[in-house]
Structure 1
Amino acid sequence: MKVKSSIADKILQGFCLALLVGMTFYLLAGWSTFPDKLPMHFGASGQIDRWGGKGILIFMLVMQWGLYLLCTGVEQVPRVWNTGVKVTAANRERVYRILKYVLETLKLIIQIIFSFLFVYITLARPLPGWSLPVMMILVFGDMAFWLILLWRCR
């Protein structure tokens, strides 16, 4: 089954691409101004517990693009999605629409989190204490919301 893209799909896709292109330009424009020693890891409280070179920025950007491309590729092949519910002729369109939203919103949340971390790394500052709980709420809250809707399709 091919899941058609709605206007909401295109808006989510546009936000993802805007973040990716923005982070790419941010890296290129700011490379010479970023410190040579940057945070490579943050503890649960947001404190920096490992330092490294600027190469982490290239790695992060490649990861960000890679995750985007992987998620976009998976979106194109609905038959590999694990629906979690029995798909019938009556619920097929709704189930696949919800699953597409799961993928798209999660893809956007991943881009937001990576962009947030990218900026904090370039500033060589600890993360705010609220960042880990907010990131977890975004990821798991989004998944819970869509999975509850999916479960109601049974």
Structure 2
Amino acid sequence: MDYSGSFAQEWQNEEKEDNNQKGRNRMIHFRMKNNIGSVTVADRILEMAALALAVFLVVLAVALYHYLPERIPVHFNSVGEADGWGGKGMIFMLSALGVVAMAICSAAAYNYKMVNLPFSLNPACLSQQVTIIGRMMRVLSVLCGLLFIALMLMTTVPQWGMQSVFFSFFLIVMTSMTVVLIVYTVWIYKKGRQYR
């Protein structure tokens, strides 16, 4: 009886199984290396809100441009009074700056290495921490959109007499951004400490 044929077949099957396992291990390693955490329905809603705000920033700039005087305020002091002036085309720069800031926040939601934290992430709960980082960046993206809407409206309101209203809105959004950064950073840190 010749066993060489069945032995060779069995050896080839084992080799294929080993190669399949190595391929799976590589795929698992790839997924872990590029893990973005989980994305929930709330995250998708935040992304859609950020996209809508980005579109609104552009539409608002186009709509306001024709109603602006030749010189508009582009800088404000601590009480909301204009102390710097520029041409009315600056409204487009504000809009573009807002869209870019929102795009950077949205990109950081999918690449946690773009976010500089004052501590190291814990490998034992990396996916949970990355999920929280993604949520934080999505919330910040929405708040950036609101911040730039407030800035754009502040440049147009001197002729409307509503500057204090939009300055108050601006301060509320700035405070909200600071609170979000602090709360989410503490949450990420505590999540990492749970698994040590």
TM-score (norm 2): 0.69
Q: For residues 38-74 of structure 1, what are the alpha-carbon distances to aligned partners after superposition, in whole Å with 9 as ceiling and x for unaligned?
A: 1110001111111221121111111111112222222
1:138 positional shift: 0.8
Contact 1:85/1:150 (<8 A) preserved:
no
Higher RCO, 1 or 2 (CA under 8 Å, sep at least 6)? 1
Q: Report the 3-state secondary structure (helix = DSSP H, G, I; strand = E; otherwise coil) of the residue aligned with 1:152.
A: helix
Cα 1:29–1:96 shift into 2, 3 Å: same
Contact 1:23/1:115 (<8 A) preserved:
yes
Supply the RMSD in Å over aligned alpha carbons. 2.0
1:130 positional shift: 3.6
Contact 1:42/1:127 (<8 A) preserved:
no
Separation in 1, partners of 2:175, 2:146: 13
Cα 1:66–1:31 shift into 2, 3 Å: same
Q: Kindly, what percent of the aligned residue pairs are identical?
A: 20
* Pairing partner for 2:123 from 88, 94, 104: 88
Residue matched to 1:17: 51
* Pairing partner for 2:179 from 135, 141, 149: 141
Unaligned 5+ runs, structure 2:
1-34
1:96 positional shift: 0.8
What is the aligned length?
153
Contact 1:34/1:123 (<8 A) preserved:
no
Contact 1:46/1:132 (<8 A) preserved:
no
Separation in 1, partners of 2:56, 2:114: 31
Residue matched to 1:54: 88
* Pairing partner for 2:42 from 8, 25, 28: 8
Contact 1:38/1:53 (<8 A) preserved:
yes
Structure number with the higher helix fraction is 2
- Letter of the structure 2 residue corresponding to residue 88 of structure 1: P
Q: Report the 3-state secondary structure (helix = DSSP H, G, I; strand = E; otherwise coil) of the residue aligned with 1:149.
A: helix
Cα 1:81–1:40 shift into 2, 3 Å: closer
Separation in 2, partners of 1:24, 1:82: 29
Contact 2:36/2:127 (<8 A) preserved:
no
Separation in 2, partners of 1:67, 1:132: 16
* Pairing partner for 2:70 from 32, 36, 46: 36
Q: Report the 3-state secondary structure (helix = DSSP H, G, I; strand = E; otherwise coil) of the residue aligned with 1:5.
A: coil
Separation in 1, partners of 2:65, 2:175: 32
- Letter of the structure 1 residue corresponding to residue 173 of structure 2: M
Q: For residues 104-149 of structure 1, what are the alpha-carbon distances to aligned partners after superposition, in whole Å with 9 as ceiling and x for unaligned?
A: 1111111111111111212236444645642332111111111221
Unaligned 5+ runs, structure 1:
none
